[in-house]
Amino acid sequence: MQNPSGATQLLISLKSANFANPIYLVNPKYAGKDFMGYTFYDSVASIKDDVPIDLAIIGVPALKTPSLVEEIGKKGIPFVHMFTSGFSELGKQGKKLEENLIEIATKYGVRILGPNCMGIHNPDSNLTFIMPMQTVMDTINRDDIRGRDIIDNQDGLDLDELSDLLSTEKLINKGKVSFISQSGGIAFTHGMISQGLGYSFSKMVLLGNQIDLDLLDFLRYFGDDPETKIISMYIENLKRDGNKFVQLLKEITLKKPIIIWKGGQLQAGHQAVMSHTGGLAGDYRMWKSMAKQTGVILVDSFIELTDMIQSCLVYSPPKTLGTAVISNSGGTAVESTDIIERNGLKMPLLSQEVTNKINQFIPEVNSNLKNPLEFGGKANLEQTINIIKMLAEEPQFSSIIMTASPEFIIFRGGVSIDDYVNEFANAIPPDSGKLLLCITSSMTMFEQGVKMNIEFRSKSLPNGFVAYRSTEAAAKCCYRLWEYGQYLEKHR
């Protein structure tokens, strides 16, 4: 490994994750020396043969990769992850280099992931490219490391300087979500942010330029993987027949949701895709058509991707578009109504019977007991939960969108965040088929209030509901779930 920053990052990630299998470092410049507990070899061929090697990670300059793949093939290593960039994303010369690599790899039966990618995250084996957050922060804050060539430094091989960065072990939690990405940065960010949102990954894979193993290979794998309940993707381009891709999507979406964020939707984005992965993005109208044909849930941003993953983890598709809204104020109620109806949901009125029941403890003066519901700040937590239970019994509503203000309720009612979350978690019987979607709304911008909202959001998913950032996010997710449910009803 001769790419200092990339190779060292991957090694730190593996070390921090307690990767238990042997790791061999190859760099003839440092042959025989130790680094972080591992020994450098002068070549792949010189590595001892008593333990079979399953994977080779390449981080050398692009022009050196063909000879190295040849050496890996002779060693009998079946898989190569190419971290190296500088191929078809740079033009015709890089494309010819890719073709040369495939010719050599085919000769020895070697399969290639990449090039130009960060690899695989697999909690089962602790194989990962994700560094612990504390390690990342320590690295950024250390003057003697930031911006320097960590391995090939002017003082020789003073490799003990990284030892303190490994003090925080990376706990790899195993989840139900798989993620396929053509961006290492997005995958790395996703791996870090998901923990705060309450979900983890069964596996993640970075595709890079897809000169061999590609999107279809991994989509087929995750479709059959019993540990993956939801497949999520960030895609910039396809390298193989689109018809096969569509057919595979049709087969899998009947078993589990597939969420796709398509990068490079507009003209400038097309150009960015070409420079990033060396492929064409394709007309986004075709992707929208594909989603309707296959039941794929298409989203437009990273935030929408995480929102939709959370939604699919805890909610079944609503049976109808009928939605009840509980809001904090009259103005917010009007805004919420516009947003919800603009995003395809319907807002039927409450029955007179339920309106009368609510009116027994919430006066109609300075309130709205129709739909949306707004109580002018007069409802406490117990009354709000009772109203949610009543709405859940109304047949015209499949979903209830509730604006939640943790600090207002806690300061006013003296309950804890855990109590607040627990009340929402048990407001609707799980067998009712009704959805309760929360929107976090901060009454203040004080630090304590912001922290309460963050804690509320982080605890919502493990307790069976989602706390969204906005009414629009909740409405979009609810409508997309309904669309997916309609597709399943039609094609099952």
Domain positions in the chain are 4-117, 174-314, 323-491
Structural domain 4-117, CATH architecture: 3-Layer(aba) Sandwich (3.40)
Q: How confident is the model at residue 306 (pLDDT cuts 50, 70, 90)?
A: very high
pLDDT digits (tens, 9 = 90+) for 344-359: 999 999 999 999 998 8
Q: Are 114 and 81 in contact (CB under 8 A)?
A: yes
What is the arithmetic mean of pLDDT over 431-445? 82
Residue 413: what pLDDT? 65
- Report percent pLDDT > 90 for the chain: 59
What is the distance between the terminal CA atoms of the chain, rounded to a whole angstrom? Answer: 50
pLDDT reported for residue 200: 93
- Report CA torsion sign: 368, 369, 372, 374: positive
How sure is the predictor about 132, in pLDDT bands with cuts at 50, 70 and 90? Answer: low
Strand 201-206 versus strand 174-181 pairing type: parallel
Range of weakest confidence among 163-167, 335-339, 377-381: 163-167
Mean of pLDDT values over 146-163: 36
Q: Which two tokens stand for residue 439?
A: 């929107």
Same fold, 4-117 and 174-314: yes
pLDDT at 448 over 80: no
Please, which pLDDT band fits residue 429 given cuts at 50, 70 and 90? confident
The CATH number that domain 323-491 falls under is: 3.40.50.261
Q: What percent of the chain has pLDDT over 70?
A: 84
* pLDDT at residue 249 tops 90: yes
DSSP string across 144-193:
TTTTS-SSSBTTB--GGGGGGGGSS-----EEEEEEEES-HHHHHHHHHH
Predicted confidence (pLDDT) per residue in 397-426, tens digit: 999 999 887 777 676 667 788 988 999 999
Q: Is the pLDDT of residue 2 over 60?
A: no
Residue 164's pLDDT is 39
Q: Which of residues 257 and 165 earns the better pLDDT score?
A: 257
Using 50, 70 and 90 to split pLDDT, how confident is the model at 167?
Answer: very low
Structure tokens at 308: 């939709």
Supply the pLDDT for residue 264.
80
At residue 443, the pLDDT reads 57
pLDDT for the residue 376: 64
DSSP character string of 265-294: -SHHHHHHHHHHHSS----HHHHHHHHHHH
- The β-bridge partners of 178 are 203, 231
φ, ψ (nearest 5 deg) of residue 180:
-110, 125
Write the pLDDT tens digit of every residue in 5-34: 567 888 888 988 889 999 999 999 999 999
pLDDT at 370: 86
- 225-239, 280-294, 303-317, 473-487: least confidently modelled range: 280-294
Q: What does the alpha-carbon distance between residue 387 and residue 60 come to, in Å, rounded to a whole number? A: 63
pLDDT at 444 over 90: no
Residue 151: the pLDDT is 34
**pLDDT for residue 148 is more than 80:** no
Asked whether the whole model's pTM tops 0.85, one would answer yes
Residue 314 and residue 464 in contact, taking contact as beta carbons nearer than 8 Å = yes
Least confident of 49-53, 118-122, 135-139, 192-196: 135-139
Mean pLDDT score, 172-195: 90
CATH 1.20.140.10 fits 174-314, yes or no: no
Contact between residue 482 and residue 318 where contact means Cβ atoms under 8 Å apart: yes
| CA–CA gap between residue 17 and residue 7 (Å, rounded) | 15
Please say if the pLDDT value at position 365 is more than 70.
no
What DSSP state is assigned to residue 55? Answer: E
What pLDDT digit, counting tens, does each position of 74-116 carry?
999 999 999 998 998 888 899 999 999 999 999 999 999 999 9
- At 461 the pLDDT is 94
The label of the residue with tokens 């697999």 reads: 122
Max Cα distance, the chain (Å):
84
- Which tokens is 214 given? 């590609």
